[in-house]
Amino acid sequence: MPAEAVPSGPSAERGRCAVLGDPVAHSLSPTLHRAAYPLLGLAWAYDAVPVGAGDLAGFLAGLDGWWRGLSLTMPLKREALALAGDVTTDRARLAGGVNTLVLSAGRVVRADNTDLPGAVAAVRERYDGPVTGGTVLGGGATAASTGLALCELGAREVRLLARRPERAADAAAAVAAHPSAPRVEVLPLDAAPVTGEVVVSTVPAAAQDDGLLARCAETPVVFEALYDPWPTPLAAAAAERPLVSGLDLLVHQAALQFEAFTGIPAPLAEMRAAGETALTARRVGA
């Protein structure tokens, strides 16, 4: 269909979106976005499409005018950053990756990162106190985005505890580049103290041993970036402390994507409920 015949804006009758990555079949993004469409009168489609490293440019070249947005997961975030050029937002450049492509007439008009503001919103939903510092367990891409989120929340000192500190250099550099110029340390996961008001875990549940839990025991806020398996040892040990889950992060970043794609505020509660139902079904069927 010619581009000029494609309807535009939130009242459009049709629209296509998808999450891309490899692997991608496990993604909850289709569940979250699909739950929102009928509530707002949108007859849109949202699918999970496997796209491997090096294949993003070819996929984008084949899109027609019905496409409105793409959610990106690994291994495509850095690839999208390199492809997007001058339509890339400052926060995507800061985070070092793009997870959101907004499309119009089959072309990318905005390349963004909703992981960063999604993490900020997820913390603020559960905790409204001060954040002067924090500790992130892990040193990968999620550690970078959540470390930057701590800076957005006010942290001036961020500590990254990594199983292999030498592999956390990129994450540390990303956090250190925040405009607030935070002090960033990279230390071993198995021994260093946990400091600040928030501890964020991006490490597997199997890495959360008793020693690590003991070092996290006095931290006021626990942010567990995983959502499956649940609860992780760290989440179970949170007790009465504010607990931010990986599902909270996923829902908030997806809600920001939904609004960017459709122009309509996302029904956050309904999207979260759909995600909870899907996760429960997975656990029962496991």
- Sketch out the chain's domains with CATH numbers: 3-113+254-269 (3.40.50.10860), 128-241 (3.40.50.720)
Mean pLDDT within 247-252? 97
Q: Beta strands 100-104 and 183-188: pairing type?
A: unpaired
* Distance separating alpha carbons of residues 243 and 126, to the nearest angstrom: 7
* Distance separating alpha carbons of residues 277 and 269, to the nearest angstrom: 12
Phi first, then psi: give them for residue 133, nearest 5 degrees: -165, 170
**pLDDT digit string, tens, across residues 127-172:** 999 999 999 999 998 999 999 999 999 999 999 999 999 999 999 9
Mean pLDDT of the chain: 93
The residue from 77, 159, 178, 252 that is catalytic is 77
Mean pLDDT within 50-61? 97
81 catalytic residue (yes or no): no
| pTM of the predicted structure, to 2 decimals | 0.92
* Distance separating alpha carbons of residues 138 and 225, to the nearest angstrom: 11
**pLDDT digit string, tens, across residues 179-215:** 999 999 999 999 999 999 999 999 999 999 999 999 9
The per-residue pLDDT for 187 is 97
The per-residue pLDDT for 141 is 87
- Burial class (CB within 10 angstroms; exposed 0-12, middle 13-18, buried 19+) of 59: middle
